[in-house]
Structure 1
Amino acid sequence: MPKPVPEPSRRPLIAVGLGGIAAAGLIGAAAWKLWRRAEPADPGKAAERGLRAGAAILSLAVLLDSGIEHYRGEFKNPAMFVAPTLALATLGMTAVEDEAAPYVFSAALAVGAAGVGFHSYNIGKRAGGFDMLNLFYAAPLGAPAALSLAGLFGLAAEHPGIAAPARIAPVAALALLGTAAEAGLLHFRGAFQNPFMFAPVTLPPLAAAVTAASSVSPEAAQVARPLLLGTALLGIAGPIFHSYGIHRNMGGWHNWSQMILQGPPLPAPPAFLGIALAALGLLPALERRG
């Protein structure tokens, strides 16, 4: 009778997990110290800074993610060039004061929405339609929404009088829920084989709920801060975990040109960081309400 195959040790996963958390914590602590040191006294300026930072990180994530994914798709449709090109333009507009910025941000908002439509069409035309297999392996349904979100945050930073923090907070909360749902779908595809894969589907929804409540409750805004900081750390730790996931694929980083295309996606987790920074920028104004 053959001997049973022993279960693989979880020690490497635990070691990488703890190391990733420690590294993300150190990076996050240093970044938070710099962020707090330069925080404006005016809550309106703090909101504008947070929204611009969020738009910049989301734009960079879209630039890299759409570039990699559309390259894997060989840019078969010329429209596949639009998302990375516009993400680059949006990233540039977050760093400067320019009259063209509102137009670029508006274009990002519209193109991201159109991208969701294109990806929905891509899934729907396949055999089986919107079944789990196609949701797992076809064009990612919610990914283009990150470009729309970058454009929306950019527009909110350009028009603080119209886009009040109390109006943007529910949008940031909804964005966290959508990003957590997409992470949950892909981590479900990966069978949650690493226990740390549960983190993006637990902490961000909690942060989303409290962030939404902060639009009407200053007390909720105070509770939201540590949850949003934790969500931001997920955005930093995620690429570390995904780097380890690439390492575990056949060929690992020695076969980097193929494995980066295979995944897990390196640029995806920073979306949590971008949304969290935008929401954190809103909190000083929300805490002073009432």
Structure 2
Amino acid sequence: MAEWDIRKLQILRTLRERGTVTATAEALHMTPSAVSQQLTNLSRQLGVPLLEARGRRVRLTDAARLVLTHTEPVFEQLERTEAALAAYSQGEAGEVRVGAFSTAVPALVVPAVRALRTTHPRVTVRVREAEAAEAYDLLAAGDVDLALSLAAEAPSAADPRFTQVPLLADPLDVALPPDHPLATAPALTLTDLAAEPWIFGGSGPWSDITRRACEASGFSPAQGHSASGWTAILAMVEAGMGVALIPRMAAAHRDGVVMRDLGPDGPVRHVTAAARRGGETGRAVTHVLEALRDAV
């Protein structure tokens, strides 16, 4: 019977996700030579080739993919075992590391932490702000226990590494300067603003969300200015430089900006929480998820 080494299997699994030995080494805080050596040893132990060269890169063989397919349940069970041990040894105590995108921190994570101080004071939450897509990388690498991200940035629901929990559909309102002709219109849709200059980032999730929302309404937004921070975006709207979509969760009151609801058919962004599969059963993680749902 082959000798199975969980650590080496984790390295192989990370290589599948990261694509290169260098990226794998960075994710696991190893050297590239150590990664290569561990995978060579694993290949020898299992008696099958796991990697094949493709120029300067390597790719997983069919045998390596077969191994990972059959060991995913092992990783899930190990996560469940760790969660069970934590519950057994710590009871209601524990530390949960949360990676969350910027607007989720004040809107969801902070209220959840405040509530936990009363309901479960022995649960400690450590917060790490991260871009929406980066949160999943941190989760996969084991650097956080929960990732708050956007559904648009999430891996496929069939990804065996994660359990995803929908949290909320966050409406997108449109920000207009007070003197805009449509600022006081009885009803407003995105199509009414098709000819306006739009303010949004040149790339990243918010750029994609803005473009998709406008294209779903039948037009491609003309980007008048590029900015990714809400303070800068709202300042430009106040100055009459353009209009912008703002998630309601991120909206801050500004006297010189009118926020308009786009109605029940208006665009939304979907916010999700994710844990490594099996890890969501841990008592401390469960308490944090409940507090996040309450914050919603």
Q: TM-score range by the shorter chain?
A: under 0.3
Using the size of structure 2 for normalisation, the TM-score is 0.24
Larger strand proportion of the pair: 2
Larger helix proportion of the pair: 1
Q: Which has the higher contact order (CA 8 A, sep 6+)?
A: 1
Larger radius of gyration: 2
